[in-house]
Structure 1
């Protein structure tokens, strides 16, 4: 009986902690995120990426540095456990896997273009405007807004069944969760953000 009471208390707490946003709240939130994205010229941050696989108990943790410069420069620089760089500059997607380099043009490949838009939009918040490729729902949890994103594109959906973005009270993305059909989840936590600080041009050179 005591266990049942604890379960009921836990469920009622979750219902209280997470609340759906009203249409007016959603409109205001999207407006605030757009305003923040418009004033964001550069972003530098550390990130921790945790990969959780459904069939394996151990987690894979990676760490690195993130750089963003408006409008179309983005760099994910993995430092641990190995060097790996994803660099987006305009329509060019550069990958450097410990010295093994490759480049793809996102305009000539629609899927790569959508992935590029997904990556940059997850950082600057503009992904919420992409109603052509995604459906959105919104929850309020304490001082955070959690946006659940459902890809419409069948190819993207094969990669990610659902994407969750967690916005802090400054309307900046603090956590991105990529959930696969298999149940595997990649969680990226963005930490120690520095806004509108000059980034050397060398950072975005392939």
Structure 2
């Protein structure tokens, strides 16, 4: 899990307008791979300002960084013009990566095991069968639009209306695409070779943003 927070000091009297900007702007975050949730938080009011923080949760740093390079990011921030005098200084960006998740502390024995698992994952050269299944299930259930975009751009079949990820390996995706009343079986190379699920996520997120940027040109 990766969290990005922007802290804003809003001059007194400008709070309502600032909140209105965030409430009405079209962020398209729900369409972005790796996005999980967003909240605008309001803090204490001091003598000359009110503190706010935008709080966004992502699957990974790679997902967040890919979003910041996307057209969605540019369009969302193009709408964020506030009246002169709204801000007290520049926003302060803070980012965090989770090191422990869940409600229970990890025992020393489990912590050693977790670290060993992480090192083993980094040392591996091939995806595990369960990782492949997780990637396929996640993409088809949560990011079917991304799979279709792969077909539109990387396979060059813009008339495809739906697509399903059937198989994934360290270097390739196999996708079934619907074109009219027929089905096409396609092979789409990954942008680079991957060896674990984290590397696969980074590669596939990079591919979707590159594809969307090119298709929007």
Name whichever structure is richer in helix by fraction: 2
TM over 0.5: no
TM-score, scaled relative to structure 2: 0.25
Larger radius of gyration: 2
Name whichever structure is richer in strand by fraction: 1
